[in-house]
Structure 1
C-alpha cells in the first residue's frame, strides 16, 4: 500500500471516529415513553398503517401455527407457553398497547 493510500485511510478512519464521537449526543435519544407525552402524529400514523396490520397478521398466523402445534404441545406439556408466545403476545401488541407506542 502506498504512502498516500495509507494516509488517506488513516485520515478517513480518524474522520469517521471524530464524526461518530461528535454525533453521539444526538444519537443518544431518550426512549419514548408510553404515557403519551412523547408520541407524535407521525408515530401514531406509522403504528396505525404499518405496525397494527403486521401485528394482526402475526396474531392470525400465530393462531394458525398454535392450532397446528396443539397436539404436540399437549404431549409436551407446554400448551400454555405455546399459546402465550404464538397467540397472546401478538394479540396484546396489536390490540392492547396505546396508539403510537412502538416499544410497548
Structure 2
C-alpha cells in the first residue's frame, strides 16, 4: 500500500471524526446511548492505525544504505514522514475519544 493514505487520509479522518461526533451529539442524547459516538471513533482510529501500519511497513522496506545519495533516501524519508503523520493523527483521534468515556452527550 502506498504512503499517501497515512499522509492525507489519516489527518482527514481526524477532522471527519470530529465533525461526525458533533453531528451525532443531538441524536445520541435523544436516544440516551453513546454507541454511535463510540463506533465512529473506533472506526476512524482503526483506519488511521491501518494506514500508519502500512506506512511503517513501507519505511522498513525502503531502508537505504548510509553512504547512498539523497535520491535513494527519498522513499525512506517520505515513508518516515507518513508514519509520523499517521501516528499523530491516530493519537489525536484517540485523544478525542477519551472524553466520550467519561462525559455524557446530554451534559449541559
TM range (shorter): 0.3 to 0.5
TM-score, normalised to structure 2, is 0.38
TM-score, normalised to structure 1, is 0.39
Give the structure with the larger helix fraction. 2
- Which structure would you say has the larger Rg? 1
